[in-house]
Amino acid sequence: MAPSDMRRLAPVTAEETDLAFRDIWGTSTGWKTIKGWDECGRIISRASQRFLIGLPSSRNEAMLETSRLYANALLVGGAIINCFPPWMRCVVAPLIAIRARYFQARYVKMLVPVVEERIRQYEAGLYKERDEVRKDDFLHRMIPMCAKDAEQLNAERIALRIASLLTPLIFAICYVFAHCVLDIHSSHDRVEILAGLEEECRRVSAEFGGLNSSASLDALKRIDSTIRESMRVSDVMVTNIFRDVTSGVVDVGNGLRVGPGVRMLFPTQDIHMDPDNYDDPTRFDAFRFSRPFQDKENLGDGSEEQEFITTPTPTFMPWGYGRHACPGRYFAAQSMKQALSYLVLNYDVELVGPRPKRKALLNMMIPPVDAKIRIRRKA
């Protein structure tokens, strides 16, 4: 998805985010305790499914829950498999994958009838006449592409392709959103952070007539900085950007040369926590990236610009780097900004007890599945 696609998707996902919060987090002004990881995941799942398969299927609760469980099971299963030596993986992998395959089969079974109906509409020549909202889902765009090859216009095959997108669209976005909520509300500067975020959201909303456009979301500099900072201090992986040398010899500098069969990677967590790259790197400083640019007078000659969530740099690599940086980062960033801005404007949040300590499973940081939060709708 290119940045230009976000303009069309912003109103759609904004509507779904609003409905998801109302349905899942509720509208009660009384406090209630929820599981942060699960309930943040359900919000993200709704918005992601609206983008993937459109209405009305994106609001099917059974399909939503199955998609969320599949996305989690797939990534956790992959992490567990990597705990075994390579020669054992072919033996244990089928057993470890049972849970993920079960949820995948359930999701595909529910999705196939939806795909079959879309294919029938396309073949009947009704596709171009469908409502504008449906044109904003990924499935709508996929059908004509698959129709170019008869073998590809298969409902189960298309459903499996949709399923393959669930982990990056649900687990990864949920991971960042859930950690961002925890980072904000466990910070010693919590009150100042929330006040700054709410002031910005209200100001930008008044300027643009709401936060349901790409332009309004682009104007949320503090929201953007807060999410980027959370991705820096609470990244998913210890290392990232894996590259295998397949032929020849690669000179990586300082007299180090590596040959075929060697896997190289970047120590991204260490890069993000390097004091040479960031001042006071272990501190969650929500406005780290926006503070120098909050006053237009600080921009000087305009030679410097704020580094946004979607900007990979040599010191910020959650998306990867270079030509192969994550192509879905624009949708992910927009979804997270919509979710966080909505939360800031509409809910009071408190942590229940101390924040759970982060734990690693080899290269992967385990999600905060035990974290609980108290929420209430603002009056």
Q: Which residues are annotated as a binding site?
A: 326
Rounded Cα distance between 358 and 345, Å, is: 28
**What is the DSSP secondary-structure string of 128-196?**
GGS-TGGGGSHHHHHHHHHTTSTTT--HHHHHHHHHHTHIIIIIHHHHHHHHHHHHHHTSTTHHHHHHH
Q: Check: CATH 1.10.630.10 for 3-236+267-377?
A: yes
> Binding site residues for heme, as ranges?
326
Phi and psi dihedrals of 73, rounded to 5? -65, -35
On whether the pTM is more than 0.75, the answer is yes
For the segment 163-216, what is each residue's pLDDT rounded down to a tens digit? 999 888 888 899 999 999 999 999 999 999 999 999 999 999 999 999 999 999
Task: Measure the CA–CA gap between 366 and 237, rounded to whole angstroms.
Answer: 9
Q: What is the pLDDT of residues 224-270, one digit of tens each?
A: 999 999 999 999 889 988 888 988 898 888 888 999 988 888 999 99
pLDDT at 75: 85
What is the C-alpha to C-alpha distance for residues 190 and 285, in angstroms, rounded to an integer? 10
Domain boundaries of the chain, sorted by first residue: 3-236+267-377, 239-266
Rounded CA separation 169/245 (Å): 29
Span 311-362, pLDDT tens digits: 999 999 999 998 889 988 999 999 999 999 999 999 999 999 988 888 888 8
Residue 259, helix vs strand vs coil:
coil
As a whole number of angstroms, the longest Cα–Cα distance in the chain is 65
